[in-house]
Amino acid sequence: MPSRSNLVLGVVAALVVILAVVAAVIGTSRSPRTADLSTPAGTTEAYITAVVSQDHDVVEDLLDPALGCTSEQLSQMYRPSRASLSIVNAEATGETATVVVEITEHGQGLFDAWAHRESFTLRFDDGRWLVTGEPWPIYMCK
């Protein structure tokens, strides 16, 4: 006959498993948030999301044309298979902005993740923000 402490431990373990399953279901069933392209932070978020999802048309649309990035160059750039991002800081002065982002790239394993900070420069042109400079992970197109 199991002791009372083993029974309590079994119930607690079952509750933890149930909560983990509920959290996983909620986390995967949420619809993705749409980035606000009217802000430098939103444009940066949309750019990173497009890089990770390999949407080269969106990446090209959000990049400053002066960078000279071609579709071929964009298709050959490094991109993580999964990543999450957090806006650390966003500052706009007139028609330029700097957005600092912490990007966490996720590998295949449970503990296979690494984070790095990237700084994005944007310029306001023709009513919208464009990523310019040497943005992660392209750095140079010309």
Whether residue 43 lies inside any domain: the answer is yes
pLDDT of residue 81: 83
Query: Looking at the predicted structure, is the pLDDT value of residue 62 above 70?
Result: yes
Number of domains into which the chain is organized: 2
Same domain (yes/no): 86, 99? yes
The mean pLDDT of 38-49, rounded to a whole number, is 96
Same domain (yes/no): 104, 117? yes
pLDDT of residue 41: 96
The mean pLDDT of 2-22, rounded to a whole number, is 76
Whether residue 120 lies inside any domain: the answer is yes
- How far are the Cα atoms of 21, 48, 99, 138 from residue 82, in angstroms, in the given order? 21, 11, 21, 17
Same domain (yes/no): 69, 118? yes
Q: How far apart are CA 90 and CA 121, in angstroms?
A: 10
Same domain (yes/no): 87, 45? yes
Whether residue 88 lies inside any domain: the answer is yes
72: domain range? Answer: 35-132
The rounded mean pLDDT for the chain is: 86
Whether residue 96 lies inside any domain: the answer is yes
Q: What are the contacts of 130-135 at 24+ separation with CB within 8 A? A: 130/43, 130/62, 130/63, 130/64, 130/65, 131/43, 131/44, 131/47, 131/62, 131/63, 131/64, 132/63, 132/64, 132/66, 132/67, 135/47, 135/63
**Which comes out higher in pLDDT, residue 32 or 108?**
108
Which tokens hold the place of 1? Answer: 């006959």
Question: Which range among 6-15, 36-45, 83-92, 119-128 shows the weakest confidence by mean pLDDT?
Answer: 6-15
Strands 96-106 and 83-93, sheet pairing: antiparallel
Same domain (yes/no): 72, 125? yes
Whether residue 139 lies inside any domain: the answer is no
Same domain (yes/no): 22, 72? no
Whether residue 138 lies inside any domain: the answer is no
